Each structure stands twice: as C-alpha cells, then as structure tokens.
Amino acid sequence: MRYALDASFFFSGLVLDGELVTPPSVTEELADLRSKGRLEALLASGLSVVPPSAENLRRVTQAAGETGDAPRLSAADADLLALSLDLGATVVTDDYAVQNVALRLGLGVRGILQRKAQPRRWKYRCPGCNRRYQAAGTCPDCGSALKRTLK
Ligand SMILES: [Zn+2]
C-alpha cells in the first residue's frame, strides 16, 4: 500500500504500514519542532519527497473546479492530489476539500482522526427564510432559490 501524506499527518500520531510519499510543498508547511522531528524520522525510515507531474496538477485543478473545492485547495493540497495520481497512492488527509477532490479523481482516501471519507453531502439554505434543505431547488415555503452551504 502506498500513502501520500498531507501536513496534518506529521502532527498526528498515526502509524501507517506501507510506502510513504509526500510532495516538497507539504514538507515546507512543517514549521514546528515536533512535526519536523517526525518528518526527519520518517525520511530516515524511507519516506520519499517527490514533486508531482504538471499533467496531473492540471487534472487536479480541473476536478477541483468541477466539485467547487478550488477556493479551499492550497497549492500543497493540489500537489498532494497530483502526486497521488502519479503514484497511485491513497491520500491521507482529514481536509474535506482534499477528500472531496480525491474522490472525484477516483483516488483512495484515508482519514487521520476519522476512519473513512465520505463524499460531501451538500445542504441547501434558503436565503429568504433561512430554512435548510437536502436538495437544490426553490424554497417551498417562500419561493427563494436555495443556496448551497457546507453545513
Ligand atoms: Zn424560504
């Protein structure tokens, strides 16, 4: 099993059995001593730091545009996803936007604190009366067009 690690992995105590990879931009996000120490230890035991291909970065950008997650995706997040495509790696992250784009790209996802990633269930809110709905459309109560929300 091959895992691509996001920055929060290095702050966690999660232990993964397999081949570990991460892009350089993720390692650059590790500023505190504890996560840097964990990075050093993992590098010594075989973690590979690999930049992603430009081709798969473009696929990630496109997928993030399709799911609406592009504004929430950092450059390091995009690198992580593209590298996972390059290497057929499972993405290790608790970030909902990264998980959502990974699922769109057909990648495996492993949570850090949570066990299993689910596609995000969009909820809709009426801007007129503030009622919330599961599906898009028009508010049956006041007739306003529903807006998508995260919660
Ligand atoms: Zn309404």
Domain range list for the chain: 2-110, 121-151
Express each pLDDT in 115-135 by its tens digit. 555 666 668 888 998 888 777
pLDDT band at 141 (very low <50, low <70, confident <90, very high): confident
Query: How far, in Å, from the CA of 150 to the mean position of ligand 1?
Result: 18
Instruction: Average the pLDDT over 30-47 and give the result.
Output: 93
Q: Compute the Cα dihedral for 63, 108, 124, 137 and give only its sign.
A: positive
Strands (E), the chain: 2-5, 19-22, 48-49, 90-92, 109-110, 123-125, 132-133, 147-149
Query: How far, in Å, from the CA of 8 to the mean position of ligand 1?
Result: 39
Query: How far, in Å, from the CA of 128 to the mean position of ligand 1?
Result: 5
121-151, CATH topology level = Rubrerythrin, domain 2 (2.20.28)
User: What does the DSSP 8-state code read for residue 47?
Assistant: -
Query: How far, in Å, from the CA of 66 to the mean position of ligand 1?
Result: 27
pLDDT on residue 91: 96
Q: Which residues contact 120 (CB under 8 A, 6 or more apart)?
A: 96, 99, 100, 150
Query: How far, in Å, from the CA of 132 to the mean position of ligand 1?
Result: 8
Q: Residues with Cβ within 5 Å of ion ligand 1?
A: 126, 128-129, 139, 141-142, 144
Query: How far, in Å, from the CA of 134 to the mean position of ligand 1?
Result: 13
SS3 (DSSP) at 71: helix
Q: Cα(50)–Cα(73) distance, rounded to whole angstroms? A: 19
User: What does the DSSP 8-state code read for residue 21?
Assistant: E
Query: Any idea which architecture 2-110 has in CATH?
Result: 3-Layer(aba) Sandwich (3.40)
pTM for the full model?
0.75
Residue 70, CA distances (Å) to 44, 57, 63, 73, 100 in order = 34, 12, 8, 5, 11
Residue whose pair of structure tokens reads 């898009």 in the numeric block? 136
39-45 contact pairs (CB < 8 A, 24+): 39/10, 42/10
Express each pLDDT in 56-68 by its tens digit. 999 999 999 998 8
pLDDT on residue 45: 93
Instruction: Average the pLDDT over 2-8 and give the result.
Output: 96
Query: How far, in Å, from the CA of 126 to the mean position of ligand 1?
Result: 5
Query: How far, in Å, from the CA of 151 to the mean position of ligand 1?
Result: 17
Whether residue 87 is predicted with pLDDT greater than 80 in this model: the reply is yes
How many CB atoms neighbour CB 38 within 10 A? 17
